[in-house]
């Protein structure tokens, strides 16, 4: 199961850090509009951070922007992540009707060899099941880290984000160890209301660092037993020494289940 592999990787690295591989052109030495320059940069980042990163999250958009070379580079990057003994969470936020979702699932699982993928749930269970059926783990976008998401996810009573978490918990019963949530570190109060829903599901947590998420407040809100994976991208990719930055973030996030 994915969650078992994730916990094993966290034990190896002693922490909860996921390095987000979002190669913004301005972060890549020499410019990030050529696939080979991005390849050299990301290979170096993975090599320098693998002792502290329990997982990596390549963001599909930045690779797709490079055209066909970028798609090949994305597969190469997933291979390098696996060579490092770590998990690859494809950040693609897919959402579509079942037949199209099935094609996206084959692309992520068979074509790219990802271990997990982010999905948007607003077309319902049909948009999620194809990913689980091929063997991928899914992280369902529940509480995004961007501020305007509240206009959507706060709607209703109970709010939409609670309904999404409950959907994820039902899917977890059918696919144990394969279903997680995306819960932004920028919303610790909302996160607290989710802590008792699907307690076995891991949370992928964006928003630490550049987006201003407060780590301590979020850890208190999530609870001590939850499997948490904190994503940091620019805070590491923009660092002069990515390995040192990863080590600092990983230490700050605390050891799994120590809190």
What's the pLDDT score for residue 209? 60
Residue 257 lies in a domain: no
For the chain, what is the domain count? 1
Query: For the CA atoms of the chain, what is the radius of gyration?
Result: 17
Residue 102's DSSP bridge partners are none
Q: Residue 67 — φ and ψ, nearest 5°?
A: 80, -155
Residue 259 lies in a domain: no
d(CA 207, CA 210): 7
Residue tagged active-site, from 7, 39, 93, 251: 93
What's the pLDDT score for residue 30? 82
Residue 92 lies in a domain: yes
Residue 86 lies in a domain: yes
Provide CB contacts within 8 A for 184, sequence distance 6+: 143, 144, 145, 146, 149, 191, 205, 206, 207, 211, 213
List the pLDDT tens digit at each of the 259 positions of the chain.
Answer: 999 999 999 999 999 999 999 999 999 998 778 999 999 999 999 999 999 999 999 999 999 999 999 999 999 999 999 999 999 999 999 999 999 999 999 999 999 999 999 999 999 999 999 999 999 999 999 999 888 998 999 999 999 999 999 999 999 999 999 999 999 988 888 999 999 999 889 999 998 765 445 788 888 888 878 899 999 999 999 999 999 999 999 998 877 754 4
Which domain range does residue 110 map to? 2-252
Task: Report residue 128 CA to chain centroid gap.
Answer: 16
Residue 258 lies in a domain: no
Residue 27 lies in a domain: yes
Is 93 an active-site residue? yes
CB atoms within 10 A of CB 173: 10
Residue 121 lies in a domain: yes
Residue 196 lies in a domain: yes
Determine contact, residues 202/3, Cβ cutoff 8 Å: yes
Tell me the CATH number at 29.
Answer: 3.20.20.70
């Amino acid at each position: 199961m994915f969650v078992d592999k994730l916990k094993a990787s966290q034990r190896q690295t002693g922490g909860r850090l996921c390095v987000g591989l979002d190669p913004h052109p301005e972060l890549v030495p020499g410019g990030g509009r050529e696939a080979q320059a991005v390849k050299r940069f990301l290979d170096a980042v993975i090599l320098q951070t693998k002792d502290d990163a329990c997982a990596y999250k390549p963001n599909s958009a930045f690779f797709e922007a490079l055209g066909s070379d970028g798609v090949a580079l994305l597969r190469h990057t997933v291979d390098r992540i696996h060579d490092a003994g770590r998990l690859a969470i494809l950040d693609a936020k897919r959402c579509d009707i079942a037949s199209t979702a099935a094609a996206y699932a084959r692309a992520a699982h068979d074509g790219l060899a990802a271990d997990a993928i982010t999905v948007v749930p607003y077309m319902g269970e049909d948009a999620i099941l194809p990913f689980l059926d091929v063997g991928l783990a899914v992280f369902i976008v529940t509480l995004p880290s961007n501020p305007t998401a509240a206009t959507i996810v706060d709607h209703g009573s109970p709010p939409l984000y609670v309904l999404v978490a409950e959907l994820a918990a039902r899917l977890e019963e059918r696919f144990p160890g394969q279903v997680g949530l995306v819960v932004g570190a920028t919303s610790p109060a909302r996160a607290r209301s989710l802590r008792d829903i699907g307690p076995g599901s891991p949370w992928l947590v964006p928003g630490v660092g550049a987006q201003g998420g407060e780590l301590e407040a979020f850890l208190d809100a999530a609870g001590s037993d939850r499997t948490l994976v904190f994503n940091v991208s620019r805070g590491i990719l923009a660092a002069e020494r990515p390995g040192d930055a990863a080590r600092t973030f990983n230490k700050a996030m605390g050891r799994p289940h120590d809190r």
